[in-house]
Structure 1
Amino acid sequence: MKQFISLALAVAALLAFTHKAPNRQNDWVPLFDGKTLNNWKVGANASTFAVQDGMLVVNGPTAHLFYDGPVMNHDFKNFEFKADVMTMPGSNSGIYFHTIYQESSWPKKGYEVQVNNSHTDWRRTGSLYGIQDVKDVFVKDNEWYTEYIRVEGKHVTIKINDKTVVDYTEPDGVKRGEGDEQRVISSGTFALQGHDPKSKVYFKNVMVRPLAD
């Protein structure tokens, strides 16, 4: 009888763990497993993205890797996002949010958070690209740092190693210029950018924490 009870408790515990919602609020959920590109989708120039030693390596022609997995059915509105990032000298990349899969070219929907410590583009790491740009360099190439994004309502906070570099609230009814009409707060997925063949950037510990809508 004791053995039966112990077995029943073990099975119950296993089921509870297995069915634990991976996207419930207050949980940090990994989006990248460190081994494969499972749950991610890329169109043109897919060879720009590779997995090596637990890291996502981005190096090659312009391409974008979109999260396409089960967490929140890859449709995030309010959230916290963080990733450990390392750039090589002269490199450029980015993290898009509230975007949608696009086969090629630069994503038209959503915002880009800049990854760039020494590229010729003056908009540096942490910039909410073209909206609230950062000119100062807060981290160095060849060193890991954490890039953090929080979106709640119309409010966007971006931190580099716990230092707030962008604090932006999108105005109600904001209108963007031609071609940037979808560069607004909405909902959508994340995308990592491969900027050009001379750029090499590493990502790991890519995680999200959904927040209440």
Structure 2
Amino acid sequence: MSPKHNFTAILVIAVSLSTPLAQLHAVEDDWKSLFNGHDLTGWKANQNPESFTVENGLLKTHGLNDMAHLYYFGENDNQPEKFINFEFRCEVLVMAKSNSGIFFHTNYEKTDHFLKHGYEAQINNDPRTTKELTGSLFAVIPVLESPVRDEEWFRYYIKVDGNHIIIKVNDTITVDYREGENPVRKPFRKDRLLQKNGGALAIQAHDKDSTVYFRNIQLKKLP
């Protein structure tokens, strides 16, 4: 990272921290806050827990020792909480050349590679690292031009209602997808599907060169 970019990143994060988290995005009725801004209570990494830390009220992902995923367990210590129909929202800041993702309808897997089950809402603004950029439903619906820039906070929204998946970035729809009865998948991604009984939610730490911050992580269950 160049000195100019480094200064910009520090300035952006410093400014963002000048406002208390409670004032950034108030939790409305039926919305539940999944991240308390102090520690990782309710969350558990499948491996490499050092890749997930809390800094200045922000959830930081940095894949120090290969890929890892942080699952939302809630109040259950034995298995991640499962969600079927829901709305999810958070705010994200991506450092230069960084990759991450939000998995949903997935399973708890101890692996240093991508998760086999469910879907990934992609986070990556650099086409030099992958062609599928922020706002993509990874390996299903690609977004080829990122709607946001590195080192700036943006809003990320995911909705699952039956077989209908919507992704929004800063309130603009990037994915409007309905899963059919027999969706076509590559063989090694054959289980990238919605699960009848729902699945887990997980945030990805991609690699040692990727640093991504999250805040105001909230979810609302739907009927």
Matched with 1:136 is: 145
Partner of 2:71: 66
Secondary structure in 2 aligned to 1:47? Answer: helix
**How many residues get paired?**
187
| 1:36 counterpart = 2:10 | no
SS at match of 1:149: strand
The answer to whether the Cα contact below 8 Å between 2:52 and 2:61 also exists between their aligned partners in 1 is yes
The answer to whether the 8 Å contact 1:42/1:103 transfers is no
Structure 1 range deviating more: 114-123 or 131-140: 114-123
Q: CA deviation at 1:176?
A: 2.9
Offset, 1:43: 2.5
Question: TM-score of the superposition, structure 2-length normalised?
Answer: 0.80
TM-score normalised to structure 1 length: 0.84
What's the counterpart of residue 165 of structure 2? Answer: 156
The 5 A counterparts of 1:166-181 are 166-181=175-190
Contact 1:66 1:101 in 2 (8 A): yes
CA distance in 1, matches of 2:47, 2:97: 23
| Structure 1 CA distance for aligned equivalents of residues 46 and 88 of structure 2 | 23
Helix, strand or coil at the partner of 2:50 = helix
What aligned pairs does 1:94-133 form with structure 2 within 5 A after superposition?
94-105=101-112, 106-118=114-126, 120-133=129-142
Does structure 2 retain, via aligned residues, the 8 Å contact 1:79–1:208? Answer: yes
Rounded to whole Å, the distance in 2 between the matches of 1:43 and 1:169 is 29
Distance 1:161 1:183 in 2: 25
Aligned-pair identity (%)? 41
| 1:209 counterpart = 2:220 | yes
State the alpha-carbon separation in 2 of the partners of residues 122 and 88 from structure 1.
Answer: 17
Bigger Rg, which one: 1
2:191 to 182, 195, 205: 182
Partner in structure 2 of residue 198 of structure 1: 209
For 1:28 and 1:128, locate their aligned partners in 2 and report how far apart those are by CA, in whole Å.
23
Which residue type is aligned with residue 115 of structure 2?
P
Give the root-mean-square deviation of aligned CA atoms: 1.7
For residues 131 and 197 of structure 1, the distance between their equivalents in structure 2, rounded to whole angstroms, comes to: 26
Change beyond 3 A, Cα 1:134–1:100: same
Query: Which 4+ runs in 1 deviate beyond 4 A?
Result: none
